[in-house]
Amino acid sequence: MSRKPTKGYYVKGHFVAEGSDLDLELKREQKGQDLSSKTDMKRESTELQKLGEDLLELRPDAMLQLVAQEHVPEALHEAIREAKKITNFEGKRRQMQFVGKLMRKLDEEQVHAIRAALDVQHNGSAEETLALHMAEHWRDRLVQDDAALAEWLSAHPDTDSQQLRALVRQARKDGLPDKTAVSQGQFPRQGRAYRDIFKIVRDHLTTSESLNP
């Protein structure tokens, strides 16, 4: 009488009998891997859902750029536009679930581009941040230092010199906020001239190739 063959399978060339200790151990490991994989997939799905919600707040010009570069497919763009129109809570929730479904179809490059666009909107690009700090630096120098005006006009001859001189004079009359009070949030709102100087300087710096003071 022939012996009934043992049921099992091969792992890396080694036979594993069903019901053996090794079989049970391998199945436990596989189950743990499956659970871990499901957890990772759920986390990724949740992150993409949140990213889709954040897209509703993206500036229109930035959104159109993503669409033009095919980082945001037209179907996703349309779904987001529809979501913005919906005011009913349940309708909005269902639409955002649809947005999340479309987000999960994006490839890694598209997701990265969307994250980058949102990051620039929230934090500004490195160039924008530098221009902002330089504008603050120049504004304070112009109001505090007579020599700064000639230096600025030499570096930026296209500036309206009469307007800038008038604003500097007015800002000095208005007076600068005390730095200690500023740090404590106690100073009154700066005068219009002070703010206008900043705008002029910032506009020139953001269109200039050089940001050196």
Q: Which amino acid is at 187?
A: F
Q: What is the pLDDT of residues 161-182, one digit of tens each?
A: 999 999 999 988 887 555 554 4
Pairing of strands 8-11, 14-17: antiparallel
Coil, strand, or helix at residue 207?
Answer: helix
Residues 6+ away with beta carbon under 8 Å from 199: none
- Share of residues in the chain with pLDDT > 70 (%): 72
Q: Which two tokens stand for residue 211?
A: 């940001």
Q: Does the pTM exceed 0.85?
A: no
Q: How many helices (H) and strands (E) does the chain have?
A: 10, 2
Amino acid letter for position 156: H
* Dihedral over Cα of 133, 135, 139, 142: its sign: positive
Start-end of CATH 1.10.60.30 domains in the chain: 126-207
How far apart are the C-alpha atoms of 194 and 187, rounded to whole Å? 14
Domain spanning 126-207 has what CATH number? 1.10.60.30
Tell me the pLDDT tens digit for each residue of 20-74: 777 677 677 776 655 556 666 677 778 888 999 999 998 888 888 888 888 899 9
Query: What is the SS3 assignment for 137?
Result: helix
pLDDT grade for 136, boundaries at 50, 70 and 90:
confident
